């Protein structure tokens, strides 16, 4: 029997449904898991996504022909039934369930298993085959509970304010920034980079609960907002835009902050390991919960993670897609030696 989903030069394709999922080159019909730039790309003739994801996708891609499908509702496309289910990655993100003649595949997109209080919480979907991301698919990546990390960030902010400094926190403009805003206590004024505030505006318009923030303008400095927390994309660090807030302490919230070498290369005194992707334990728990016997690993430490899953009894293999990191994301995954990555005597690195 042919695979229900297969790779083409355009991306992941469903032959009986004649549609692609998160394709990286223009196609006639694209089902989109979420609005990050490596999954939602311009140029497709028609888009299908969740109602919660579409406003951000339109903001990022401009005018496009699109339909929406609410979480849990089914749609027949030719001889295939599809549905979208919460992925917990960012607001509106989805796993896509694809069923044809009793065979069920689920494409995870990007996901995390810990509920963050903002994005729709991840729910495992039973299936025969599961296409999983594995951005952090090594045992070294294990997140502490969100509440503990948020408390650490709040303490860092409070200490900086007491020392007369602004706190400049780098976080991806869609997803991570809003997660921080929703979780942090109101310790003082919160300033946002324009890229962050544009997403705030869109999500507020959809009913997502976010605190009041102030968009940074040319007149905004450390003197106008002493002790403030500034949330900006990582690309804004060490730029003239950021230097207006001196004296400031800089930090980043990212899963890559679990790797000291990345913190050092970015010249950061502080890093907080907070990720919108599942950690090692989350990935394994999510896969077990699907009941899938076949697992395809993409986006991350694919070969190492597939070897690990094979050792656990799954029919597993890497799936070489063109999904990567958000344009403002941290550098590519570093080479790390662990029990999983040394399965065949080689060290695995993400593309």
The CATH number linked to 206 is: 3.40.50
Enumerate residues 6+ apart whose C-beta is below 8 A from 97: 82, 83, 84, 85, 104, 105, 106, 125, 127
Residues 46, 194 share a domain? no
Residues 235, 118 share a domain? no
Residues 192, 79 share a domain? no
Dihedral sign of CA atoms 260, 265, 268, 274 in order? negative
66-68 vs 214-215, strand pairing mode: unpaired
Residues 256, 291 share a domain? no
Residues 179, 81 share a domain? no
Lowest mean pLDDT among 156-160, 275-279, 331-335: 331-335
Provide the CA 41 distance to its chain's centre, in angstroms: 15
Cα 182 from Cα 39, distance rounded (Å) = 24
User: pTM for this structure?
Assistant: 0.92
Q: List, as one string, the DSSP characters of 1-53.
A: ---SSEEETTEEEETTTTEEES-SS--S-EE-S-SSTTTS-TT-S-EEE-TTT
Enumerate residues 6+ apart whose C-beta is below 8 A from 16: 4, 78, 79, 80, 100
Asked if pLDDT for residue 285 goes beyond 80, the answer is: yes
Residues 196, 127 share a domain? no
Residues 111, 42 share a domain? yes
Whole-number pLDDT of residue 321? 85
Residues 264, 155 share a domain? yes
Whole-number pLDDT of residue 262? 74
Residues 60, 136 share a domain? yes
- Reported as a single tens digit per residue, the pLDDT across 129-163 is 999 999 999 999 999 999 999 999 999 999 999 99
CA distances from 288 to 129, 228, 253, 294, 333 (A): 12, 43, 28, 11, 25
Residue 323 pLDDT level (bands cut at 50, 70, 90): confident
Number of compact structural domains in the chain: 2
Tell whether 338 is covered by a domain: no
Asked if pLDDT for residue 108 goes beyond 90, the answer is: yes
The domain that holds 297 is classified in CATH as 3.60.15.10
Tell whether 327 is covered by a domain: no
Enumerate residues 6+ apart whose C-beta is below 8 A from 35: 53, 56, 57, 60, 90, 92, 174
Tell whether 342 is covered by a domain: no
C-beta separation of 181 from 171 below 8 A? no
Mean pLDDT of 119-128: 98
Tell whether 325 is covered by a domain: no
Enumerate residues 6+ apart whose C-beta is below 8 A from 223: none
What does the mean pLDDT of the chain come to? Answer: 91
**pLDDT > 90: percent of the chain:** 86
- Reported as a single tens digit per residue, the pLDDT across 26-81 is 999 999 999 999 999 999 999 999 999 999 999 999 999 999 999 999 999 999 99
Whole-number pLDDT of residue 122? 98
Tell whether 330 is covered by a domain: no
Tell whether 207 is covered by a domain: yes
C-beta separation of 286 from 111 below 8 A? yes
Tell whether 85 is covered by a domain: yes
Cα 308 from Cα 341, distance rounded (Å) = 9
Residues 227, 109 share a domain? no
Residue 268 pLDDT level (bands cut at 50, 70, 90): confident
Tell whether 84 is covered by a domain: yes
Q: Residue 31 is part of which domain span?
A: 6-141+276-318
Mean pLDDT of 232-254: 94
Residues 107, 24 share a domain? yes
Residues 121, 60 share a domain? yes
């Amino acid at each position: 029997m042919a695979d229900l989903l297969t790779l083409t030069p355009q991306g992941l394709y469903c032959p009986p449904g004649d549609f692609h999922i998160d394709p990286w080159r223009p196609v006639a019909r694209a089902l989109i898991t979420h609005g990050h730039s490596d999954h939602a790309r311009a140029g497709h003739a028609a888009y299908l996504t969740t109602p919660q994801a579409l406003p951000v996708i339109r903001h990022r891609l401009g005018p496009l022909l699109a339909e929406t499908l609410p979480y849990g509702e089914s749609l027949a496309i030719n001889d295939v039934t599809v549905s979208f289910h919460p992925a917990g990655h960012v607001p509106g993100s989805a796993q896509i369930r694809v069923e044809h003649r009793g065979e069920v595949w689920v494409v995870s997109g990007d996901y995390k298993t810990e509920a963050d209080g903002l994005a729709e919480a991840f729910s495992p979907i039973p299936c025969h085959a599961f296409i999983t991301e594995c951005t952090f698919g090594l045992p070294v990546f294990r997140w502490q509970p969100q509440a503990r990390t948020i408390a650490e960030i709040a303490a860092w902010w409070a200490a900086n304010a007491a020392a007369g400094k602004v706190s400049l926190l780098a976080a991806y403009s869609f997803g991570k920034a809003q997660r921080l805003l929703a979780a942090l206590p109101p310790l003082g004024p919160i300033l946002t980079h324009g890229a962050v505030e544009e997403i705030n505006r869109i999500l507020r318009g959809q009913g997502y609960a976010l605190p009041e923030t102030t968009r940074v303008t040319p007149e905004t400095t450390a003197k106008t907002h002493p002790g403030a927390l500034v949330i900006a994309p990582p690309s804004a660090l060490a730029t003239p835009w950021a230097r207006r807030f001196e004296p400031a302490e800089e930090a980043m919230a990212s899963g890559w902050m679990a790797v000291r070498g990345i913190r050092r290369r970015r010249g950061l005194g502080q890093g907080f390991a907070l990720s919108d992707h599942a950690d090692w334990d989350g990935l394994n728990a999510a896969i077990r919960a699907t009941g899938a016997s076949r697992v395809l690993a993409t986006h991350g430490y694919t070969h190492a993670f597939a070897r690990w899953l094979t050792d656990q009894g799954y029919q597993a293999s890497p799936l070489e897609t063109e999904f990567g990191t958000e344009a403002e994301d941290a550098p590519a995954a570093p080479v790390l030696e662990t029990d999983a990555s040394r399965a065949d005597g080689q060290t695995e690195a993400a593309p």
